[in-house]
Amino acid sequence: MSTREKMPQKVEALYRAVQELIEEGADINRIKVADITERAGIGKGTAYEYFPNKEELISSAMLYHMNIIYREIGKEIRKRKNLEESIYFMLGAMDERIGQRDCFLKCVHILTDSGEISKKLRRKIEEQKEHADWQEDFIRQMIELGRQTGEISLKLPEDYMYLAIASKLVGYAIYITDNGKNCNNTEMQKLICESLLREFTGGI
């Protein structure tokens, strides 16, 4: 279901319950429909009026919330003047929005998991792409911005740049949860930004 469509209140409650459970650290492969409906405050049978099984419910909820996050980030990226600004924005947002940072890490983990829910979620993402309903990828927006401003060498393959940015964002998300770090966040953001810009302008 698209974020632009009007959804039934009960479906919205189910989606919100799934998000809360995941943010609290629940294992998506062990969440039960009863856990979701109890959190949503509705009867267990109601969930099956909208979804055939647990996997469909959880993967649909995750895709819905991922769409919202991607759309919000995409809007902010478009306000930035260059790649450097967009990198600092992303890193700063991860500092400020703890819930979004944790959600980002969980999504990365879930998308690389081998469980049935993860497989269904990946299929849903591919289906959305096929129907041109997937929100514009904010990392690819950053790459396009960098190309336009000359901060990225045209010799570099897009997939390589995507991997470089994504790995830095994931690494930073992990770093700022480490209580034993010996470099403050501002210094680390500067190092990450400078490293990416050098890598992208220097070629392979």
pLDDT digits over 14-47, tens only?
999 998 898 787 888 888 999 999 999 999 899 9
Could you tell me the domains of the chain?
9-202 (1.10.357.10)
Where is average pLDDT lowest: 63-67, 106-110, 183-187?
106-110
Q: Tell me the pLDDT of the chain averaged across its residues.
A: 82
In tens, the pLDDT along 128-174 reads 654 444 445 788 889 999 999 999 998 899 889 988 998 898 888 88
| CA separation for the pair 64, 115 (Å, rounded) | 19
Instruction: Check residue 112 and give its pLDDT.
Output: 64
In tens, the pLDDT along 46-62 reads 999 999 999 899 989 98
| CA separation for the pair 68, 57 (Å, rounded) | 17
Instruction: Check residue 150 and give its pLDDT.
Output: 93
| CA separation for the pair 77, 81 (Å, rounded) | 9
